[in-house]
Amino acid sequence: MSSTQHTPADGHFHPHLRPRRLRRTEALRRMVQETTLTPADFILPLFVRHGQDVQQPIRSMPGQFQWSPDKAAAEARAAWQMGIPAVLLFGIPESKDALGTENYAPNGIIPATIRAIKDAVPELIVISDMCFCEYTDHGHCGIINHAGDPHYTPRLPEGYLLNDATLELLARASIVHAEAGADIIAPSGMLDGMVGAIRAGLDASGLDHVIVMSYAAKFASGFYGPFREAAESPPQFGDRSGYQMDPANGREALKEVALDVAEGADIVMVKPALPYLDVLSAVRQAVSLPVAAYQVSGEYAMIHAAAANGWIGLERCALETLTSIKRAGADMIMTYFAKDAVRWISG
Ligand code: PBG
């Protein structure tokens, strides 16, 4: 006869083995906690537009705004004072055109904002999201093959996003943003070769200290909806599935990450975050570089919307998602909750 007793409910229950012992009190739970959020985990995205003293609410993203450079600098300073090490900038240009020219204009919205932020908080890490969708009149992430346009390539399909012609412009814009003071260039267009082209362009301009953080595994996601309102960048025809990844593909994400590592990425990102925690975890295991995750606009909006209805708790659910993202392997999280999260975890 064995000395262990078995319950009728579970023939395998062993009364000595009780994991609940470690959960009994708040202090015990704190002691055994595996994943702890800190302010240094967060990167705050900011939308910036021309003007002065502008703080325009974004309807689908409660608590988020489009800022003019002066107000963005004040917001960046507030984030820095809370312990948040970095901001990520998205620009809304004065005007849009087929080639997204404001993205590489030295006095464009992003260089102007970078200078304002660096004046106000020199140590804050400034990340420039490097993509053309905010700057092009068609809303795609680069130059479109269009009969009659200067880059028209008859052998390629009409409407095709021209990869290599766009790479040249990405490198050019990256140099402009880096010269304005960006510490990190974060290409987000999912073009082939974007990391290598930007790395080569920066190095050729004596900007070898500038970091490339690649949106390496970026999926064609419905969760970018609110962002397209915030950045005024919806595609005017078609969608982005010709360059962003199919949400169904996990192995392909590892291929994309490996290519970006080979091209010289310093940090790789998975985006969105919550629906792709499996990908995040696999990337974490596959590479030794720092890994970032982007909790995107729709993830933020859905938590806010459910909380506004009283269906879930805002703070609890936001922190639960951020903890899960870190647990899955993120070393840093771009999140619109950054400032709230710091308040919550230190409150
Ligand atoms: C592209 C870009 C997008 C986001 C970040 N960079 C939009 C897109 O790919 O359509 C989305 C971020 C978010 O939804 O919060 N420049």
Is the distance from CB of 60 to CB of 101 less than 8 angstroms?
no
For 239, how many CA atoms within 13 A lie in the half-sphere containing its CB? 10
Residue 23 lies in a domain: no
Residue 11 lies in a domain: no
From 64, 128, 130, 188, the mutation candidate for ligand 1 (largest count of ligand atoms within 8 A of CB) is 188
Residue 219 lies in a domain: yes
Q: Report the pLDDT averaged over residues 15-41.
A: 96
In the structure, what pLDDT confidence band is assigned to residue 6 with cuts at 50, 70 and 90? Answer: low
Does 218 participate in catalysis according to the annotation?
yes
Q: Give yes or no for residue 269 having a pLDDT over 80.
A: yes
Number of domains in the chain: 1
Is the distance from CB of 38 to CB of 341 less than 8 angstroms?
no
Question: Which percentage of the chain shows pLDDT scores above 90?
Answer: 91
Q: What is the pLDDT of residue 233?
A: 86
**From ligand 1's centre to the CA of 223, what distance in Å?**
9
In the structure, what pLDDT confidence band is assigned to residue 5 with cuts at 50, 70 and 90? Answer: low
Give this prediction's pTM.
0.95
Residue 22 lies in a domain: no
From 157-161, 209-213, 277-281, the region with the lowest mean pLDDT: 157-161
Domain that holds residue 216: 35-345
Residue 109 lies in a domain: yes
Q: Give yes or no for residue 1 having a pLDDT over 50.
A: no
Catalytic member of 71, 271, 326, 339: 271
Residue 15 lies in a domain: no
> Ligand 1: does its nearest atom lie under 6 Å from the Cβ of 296?
yes
> Ligand 1: does its nearest atom lie under 6 Å from the Cβ of 116?
no
**From ligand 1's centre to the CA of 12, what distance in Å?**
49
Residue 179 lies in a domain: yes
Instruction: Give the separation between CA 75 and CA 90, rounded to whole angstroms.
Output: 14
Q: Report the pLDDT averaged over residues 234-252.
A: 93
Q: Between helices 109-120 and 163-179, what is the axis angle to 10°?
A: 30
**According to DSSP H, which parts of 33-147 are helical?**
69-81, 109-120
Q: Give yes or no for residue 296 having a pLDDT over 60.
A: yes
> Ligand 1: does its nearest atom lie under 6 Å from the Cβ of 321?
no
**From ligand 1's centre to the CA of 307, what distance in Å?**
23
In the structure, what pLDDT confidence band is assigned to residue 211 with cuts at 50, 70 and 90? Answer: very high
Residue 315 lies in a domain: yes
Instruction: Give the separation between CA 150 and CA 247, rounded to whole angstroms.
Output: 34
Q: Give the residue, by CA position, lying nearest to ligand 1 atom 16.
A: 131
Average of per-residue pLDDT values in the chain: 95
From 47-61, 141-155, 256-270, 282-296, the region with the lowest mean pLDDT: 141-155
Selected residue with higher pLDDT from 23 and 5: 23
| Per-residue pLDDT reduced to its tens digit, 142-162 | 999 999 998 999 999 999 999
In the structure, what pLDDT confidence band is assigned to residue 34 with cuts at 50, 70 and 90? Answer: very high
The CATH number of the domain where 336 resides is what? 3.20.20.70
What are the DSSP E strand ranges found in the chain? 42-49, 55-57, 65-67, 86-92, 125-130, 143-144, 161-162, 184-187, 211-218, 267-271, 291-295, 332-335
Instruction: Give the separation between CA 256 and CA 127, rounded to whole angstroms.
Output: 21
Q: Give the residue, by CA position, lying nearest to ligand 1 atom 6.
A: 188
Q: Give yes or no for residue 186 having a pLDDT over 50.
A: yes
Q: How far is CA 167 from CA 49, 179, 244, 265, 297, in A?
A: 25, 18, 16, 15, 26
Q: Give yes or no for residue 30 having a pLDDT over 70.
A: yes
